[in-house]
Structure 1
Amino acid sequence: MFQPNMFDTHHQLLDMATHKTLENEVGMIRVEDEFESSRSATENMEAISGDDDQDPNQRPKKKRYHRHTQHQIQELEGFFKECPHPDDKQRKELSRRLSLEPLQIKFWFQNKRTQMKAQHERHENMQLRAENEKLRVDNIRFNEALSNATCPNCGGPAAIGEMSFDEQHLRIENARLREEIDRISSIAAKYVGKPLMTYPQLPHLPPHSLDLGVGNFGLQSGLVGDMYGGAGDLLRSAALPTEVDKPMIIELAVAAMEELVKMAQLGEPLWLMSADNSTEILSQDEYFRMFPRGIGPTPLGLKSEASRDSAVVIMNHMNLVEILMDANQWSSLFAGIVSRAMTLVVLSTGVAGNYNGALQVMTAEFQVPSPLVPTRESYFVRYCKQHGNGTWVVVDVSLDSLRASPVLRCRRRPSGCLIQELPNGYSKVTWVEHVEVDDSSGHSIYQLLVNSGLGFGAKRWVATLDRRCERLASVMATSISSGDGGVITSPEGRKSMLKLAERMVMSFCTGVGASTAHTWTTLSGSGPDNVRVMTRKSMDDPGRPPGIVLSAATSFWMPVPPKRVFDFLRDENSRNEWDILSNGGLVQEMAHIANGRDPGNCVSLLRVNSANSSQSNMLILQESCTDSTGSFVVYAPIDIVAMNVVLNGGDPDYVALLPSGFAILPDGPVAAHGGGALVVGSGGSLLTVAFQILVDSVPTAKLSLGSVATVNSLIKCTAERIKAAVMIDNT
């Protein structure tokens, strides 16, 4: 018998739409109730009440309410457009600026969000009503047709078949997925594999992307602004993609994802082991045979760098995916490698609840912690996709054809990582880093480090990730070490101290490299002992003291293993051998927090007991961290009162810091004698020494030549002291 199931399906769709309309109406009432409740909470908090023990028979006094001024409302409305969910620090700043209580700020934003939600659902409800009415009309028409339906085989009346709700839902979902697969397959078949620079001007396509949640092109809220000052670099030269560019970006991301998965999983002959079985080397001939079209041949003047490494890290796979897809979290996690990062356009947010199918256009600047190594700027698309249960892939690939600048110094072929879920919150990460770059302008003492892949390659990314995951696990710990001497008395104090140290290290890393946001000036003559200086004006920044800050840095080579240099600089007992500011005083470790398997990974609070009884003692916050590709020792003098607030669990964001310190890198991989395995760091060390000093507490003051000469002398004297002490101990 003929069974017109489409009519039955239409009945169920109608019922679903009607049910959804009723749900929205009820939900809107609840939202409005929540809005009234929240507003009442705000007014109750702001009301001036009488005595608590007044006569219950007495008529209560009429409450007086605080009404925001027009200026306060305008400021709050403007801030809400940029950031509807301010954090504690932002609320404190708003309350200070607008002379309101932090709770008033909090409740205002809650009320505003509730109001916007109610307006949105009211609008959605109107649309559903119109759709519901349309479905009712269609239902009447279908019922009339159904009453006259006949079986084409026997000519008799047609029997209506039964279809369950689950079956209907699956049919609808299958149809949507089939349409999605067909669309992506047609795009990939038509464009993927062609050289990027030779793509034709593509026709305008409907605004779809790889998955749900695709929006129109636009700047991501809160990311593009005065974050990076007035630097005229790639962040300005990178043109925003247009709707015409969008299909090409999607196609390129799909092809890059396919290529990265293969490169992460395949072995020989694509990847070959070095003679000492320590490094995976990409076979360029096999690569171009396996991926003949890709994004085209290597541009003239650029050389290829390709490396692969893997490790098991202490982080849940979904947490790692979330960090990689957030520019701020990503640059914070890899602060020693990513000097700056920005998300320009979010093309797809992915499936609701995770980043499956997320697609975004980004810019980033990659660095080695030294002013002598030029940074690598990249303009690329980042694509995240789930491949099977518990396996995720995040891939980057350059968008060179969309750049405004014709000069190409660095191009990222498909690079990124494959993340596999492991038990107990661990993940296995396989990292592929494949770039084409012109690094001819770098200093000669860093040439071997960069060429070996230890500067920008996969080994450095994986080693940094492993170390940072250990640190994050340490932050989450609640135990208090017995070796702290009673200085740290609570988990909150421990966490605040670690958070303050993390900000200190991030500030050091972003200010020590050759980022295009900085303007370094060379003070001394040629040679590896050049001292580079730059000035910064600090104003209205609670994390820095106000005034003129002078930054100075120098990098040089020493014929001493990096581990020896690291152990010497982090040891408080040898500090008076190089630290001129400690003035020969006895240095004592008051608190110690281990944050990794290596004993060198720790945060310390040091007290410098002045040799001169007329001078007060000084506190120093220090973090040391090390992995197979490099080490840092970063420290900053800190006010005793402020440190007490932190140790009691107070907010560390308002503690002013000027971090100084050291970056210690190997001068390159050196094979052990007798044909043994390659050991990183068995040769010499590349040491960067950097200071930040407040030379004037008035931001508008002029920088004196005497201040520059003093800082120049300080950094050169410190470098000479370190050389003398380490070389003597190494003989």
Structure 2
Amino acid sequence: MFQPNMFDNHHHLLDMITKPPSEGEISNMRDEDFENKSVSEAMEMPLGLCDDLDPNQRPNKKKRYHRHTQHQIQELEAFFKECPHPDDKQRKELSRELGLEPLQVKFWFQNKRTQMKAHHERQENSILKSENDKLRAENSRYREALASATCPNCGGPAAIGEMSFDEQHLRIENARLREEIDRISAIAAKYVGKPLSSFSHPSSSIAGTGRSFEHGISNFGAHSGFAGDMYGGGDLLRLTTLPTEADKPIIVELAVAAMEELVRISQAGEPLWIPGDHYTEVLNEDEYSRTFPRVMETKSLGMRLEASRDSAVVIMNHISLVEILMDVNQWSRVFCGIVSRAMTIQVLSTGVAGNYNGALQVMTAEFQVPSPLVPTRENYFVRYCKQHADGMWAVVDVSLDSLHQGPTAPRSRRRPSGCLIQELPNGYSKVIWVELVEVDDREVHNLYKQLVDSSLAFGAKRWVSTLDRQCERLASSMANNIPAGDLCVITSPEGRKSMMKLAERMVMSFSSGVGASTAHVWTTLSATGSDDVRVMTRKSTDDPGRPPGIVLSAATSFWLPVAPKRIFDFLRDENSRSEWDILSNGGEVQEMAHIANGRDPGNCVSLLRVNSPNSSQSNMLILQESCTDSTGSLVIYAPVDIVSMNVVLSGGDPDYVALLPSGFAILPDGPSLGNGISGGGGGLEVGSGGSLLTVAFQILVDSAPNAKLSLGSVATVNSLIKCTVERIKAAVTGENP
């Protein structure tokens, strides 16, 4: 059992933060309430304290206009440079040395801090104005380029289908810059005091941006100074800023309180957690509001509280688990199916020497479901790690949206969420995971509504199941005993590890492109001729892991009245591949190598060879990874060059093998109803034990440096994915397409 002492270590944590506030500042936080008052108000307040004194003892009002001597001012200025927040003891010492009252010293420092703050804001507003002017100039250049776009063949105005890829991106960049100008103008108007129309473009509309800008003016333009790593950052750099010095004590307060709440919630039983349907636990919101009243008071209008808890014993020691959670790159890689992008904004504390005890870092992340029909959840939060006892750790997240309110409220807010990690013998650990989120999910597609509402889509069970499966995969990659069946192709342990590393990159690439992330570099094309298939395009130039040229990605999600396990077994089986894979052209598929990744036989990496009747496709190789757990399954594959694959199988570097992964994401359509449904039809509906299947393809349509995108290429890919969907439906349901 935990014996938490959260608040006892509060000041110790503050001391560990980069540029921490002084101890006097923390102990006198109540005094700082004077900070935002005007000079005259601050000087009036001490007089009010004397109202009950004898009239003869009341101080003369003229004393509040006391003018300090030049010597006093010089001494105060010098002390301010060393310590802008003196405590009571320091103020009394100064008052004795300078012949002033302690209250006069206190108000001088308050006024000086207010003066410095106003000076810094004027400087930052000037930077903002400069950035705004720069963006407007760039916007004008893009508009001129688009206005003069011509067809290279006839010289006339360019039509959408004839416009080059780069020109299409100019149009998109133009819209993005206009949106950026609107955001910055709104912030400038708030702080500089000028009306919005004097900054923004006449045709812009703040209401139409649809995104939040949740950061203050004080750190705008300082992104180059953020501390930490970035995984798929993209637009996150524009949406968050470094915390200010004034924010840091508040962040510490939030983190310490969140840690206490996480420990209590993770270990509590009834009445806080009560049994729910389908072997789940349900948070008793009435009991939760009584236990943590301050939390429920801040609940936003139109948002629901989504709570879940799950636990598992995983094959990884507790120290390694903590390292994964506290390193944004490792965390994003292990949970790549859930975390579509993440970034460490600033490390406030690295913890004590040698481990992460006391580590505190501000982060931002986007969480996803592998389907374009489920909006992602973006969060700006602090992550706090603490060791509670020998072999017992906890890592907690809590949102920081309240620090810098933007014009648009966030759709998702992380209440205290995270995990407790208990060391077990033989390198194992017990993990208790809690997900507590305040969310507005009204934009979720009806197909996925029940899955999201049941907390299976974003809840604790998915995090724990993914962690358990990834721990097994890591243990498999480190194993030295290679089964005899692999030796025919994989000639060494190094070759086995290289193949698994290549498969891992393939899975990460697929996961980052199959969801609805707002940070994708993909461009959605409107002229697809279909409402249910999403087609996107990108140009790959300097990435050695992708073939150069224009790549099209198509994705669609649909429901099938078949249990997820049956679909998973069908899609991963090389013997049934010819029933749905159009590109294999009906050829025989043979498994050349097989690497098991865990206890479930469905968790494996395979190398397949297609013996196609078409001589041009003869002996085509396919790298495939399949993985499954109780919350969902993936089958991901990519064609690979034979020469490159031979290098990998010999233990060579897999990072230079170009991959375009395609595949399938299979999710239950709601909470499990036992063994599910093994057959088809019968008037079944979503939520009755069927499956939600997402199909996604990536195809290189043109490798020329100056290639142009044609609507014919889009139509071809669109037809390919539709045909594949029809074949899968016919095979697993027994219905004719």
**Normalising to structure 2: TM-score of the pair?**
0.68
Give the Å deviation of 1:402. 3.1
Give the Å deviation of 1:237. 1.9
Per the alignment, residue 731 of structure 2 pairs with 725
Q: 2:696 aligns with which of 690, 693, 700?
A: 690
Larger mean Cα displacement after TM superposition, 601-610 or 700-709: 700-709
Per the alignment, residue 229 of structure 2 pairs with 223
1:426 aligns to 2:258 (yes or no): no
1:319-468 equivalences under 5 Å are 319-403=320-404, 405-407=406-408, 408-468=410-470
Per the alignment, residue 12 of structure 2 pairs with 180
Q: Distance in 1 between matches of 2:353 and 2:605?
A: 39
Give the Å deviation of 1:181. 8.6
Q: Distance in 1 between matches of 2:440 and 2:631?
A: 22
> What is the DSSP-based 3-state SS (H/G/I as helix, E as strand, rest coil) of the residue aligned with 1:263?
helix
1:667 aligns to 2:499 (yes or no): no
Per the alignment, residue 711 of structure 2 pairs with 705
5+ residue gaps, structure 2: 1-7, 17-22, 38-82, 88-221, 677-685
Larger mean Cα displacement after TM superposition, 703-712 or 426-435: 703-712
CA contact (8 A) 1:556 1:687 kept: yes
Per the alignment, residue 506 of structure 1 pairs with 508
Give the Å deviation of 1:694. 0.7
Please give the root-mean-square deviation of Cα atoms over the aligned residues, in Å. 3.2
CA contact (8 A) 1:587 1:609 kept: yes
Q: 1:601 aligns with which of 600, 603, 610?
A: 603
Per the alignment, residue 565 of structure 2 pairs with 563
CA contact (8 A) 1:364 1:377 kept: yes
CA contact (8 A) 1:204 1:244 kept: no
Q: Distance in 1 between matches of 2:240 and 2:280?
A: 35
Per the alignment, residue 517 of structure 1 pairs with 519
Stretches (4+) displaced over 6 A: 176-179, 181-192, 198-207
> What is the DSSP-based 3-state SS (H/G/I as helix, E as strand, rest coil) of the residue aligned with 1:468?
helix
> What is the DSSP-based 3-state SS (H/G/I as helix, E as strand, rest coil) of the residue aligned with 2:299?
coil
The Cα offsets for residues 88-144 of structure 1, whole Å up to 9 and x where unpaired, read as xxxxxxxxxxxxxxxxxxxxxxxxxxxxxxxxxxxxxxxxxxxxxxxxxxxxxxxxx
Per the alignment, residue 117 of structure 1 pairs with none
**Cα distance 1:711–1:377, how it changes in 2: closer, same or farther (>3 A)?**
same
CA contact (8 A) 1:238 1:404 kept: no
Aligned residue type for 1:496: S
Q: Distance in 2 between matches of 1:441 and 1:221?
A: 34
Identity %: 74
Q: Distance in 2 between matches of 1:191 and 1:476?
A: 52
Per the alignment, residue 477 of structure 1 pairs with 479
**Cα distance 1:709–1:441, how it changes in 2: closer, same or farther (>3 A)?**
same
Aligned residue type for 1:180: H
CA contact (8 A) 1:188 1:255 kept: no
CA contact (8 A) 2:536 2:554 kept: yes
Per the alignment, residue 288 of structure 1 pairs with 289
Aligned residue type for 2:662: S
CA contact (8 A) 1:374 1:442 kept: yes
CA contact (8 A) 2:255 2:398 kept: yes
CA contact (8 A) 2:289 2:296 kept: no
5+ residue gaps, structure 1: 1-175, 193-197, 208-215, 675-679
Larger mean Cα displacement after TM superposition, 465-474 or 178-187: 178-187
> What is the DSSP-based 3-state SS (H/G/I as helix, E as strand, rest coil) of the residue aligned with 1:293?
helix
Q: Distance in 2 between matches of 1:521 and 1:560?
A: 32
The Cα offsets for residues 580-621 of structure 1, whole Å up to 9 and x where unpaired, read as 100111100000000011000000000000113464320000
**Cα distance 1:464–1:313, how it changes in 2: closer, same or farther (>3 A)?**
same
1:299-310 equivalences under 5 Å are 299-310=300-311
Per the alignment, residue 137 of structure 2 pairs with none
Q: 1:575 aligns with which of 574, 577, 591?
A: 577
Q: Distance in 2 between matches of 1:179 and 1:250?
A: 9
CA contact (8 A) 1:600 1:625 kept: yes
CA contact (8 A) 1:239 1:404 kept: no
Q: Distance in 2 between matches of 1:224 and 1:199?
A: 39
> What is the DSSP-based 3-state SS (H/G/I as helix, E as strand, rest coil) of the residue aligned with 1:653?
helix
CA contact (8 A) 1:217 1:345 kept: no
Larger mean Cα displacement after TM superposition, 480-489 or 362-371: 480-489
Give the Å deviation of 1:241. 1.1
**Cα distance 1:603–1:615, how it changes in 2: closer, same or farther (>3 A)?**
closer
CA contact (8 A) 1:665 1:686 kept: yes
Per the alignment, residue 639 of structure 1 pairs with 641
> What is the DSSP-based 3-state SS (H/G/I as helix, E as strand, rest coil) of the residue aligned with 1:574?
helix
Q: Distance in 1 between matches of 2:29 and 2:370?
A: 40
Q: 1:486 aligns with which of 461, 485, 488?
A: 488
The Cα offsets for residues 524-557 of structure 1, whole Å up to 9 and x where unpaired, read as 5676xx1101111111111111111111101000
Work out the number of aligned pairs and report it.
531
Aligned residue type for 2:666: I
Aligned residue type for 1:399: L
> What is the DSSP-based 3-state SS (H/G/I as helix, E as strand, rest coil) of the residue aligned with 1:294?
helix
> What is the DSSP-based 3-state SS (H/G/I as helix, E as strand, rest coil) of the residue aligned with 2:583?
coil
Give the Å deviation of 1:297. 2.7
Give the Å deviation of 1:183. 8.4
**Normalising to structure 1: TM-score of the pair?**
0.68
Per the alignment, residue 585 of structure 1 pairs with 587
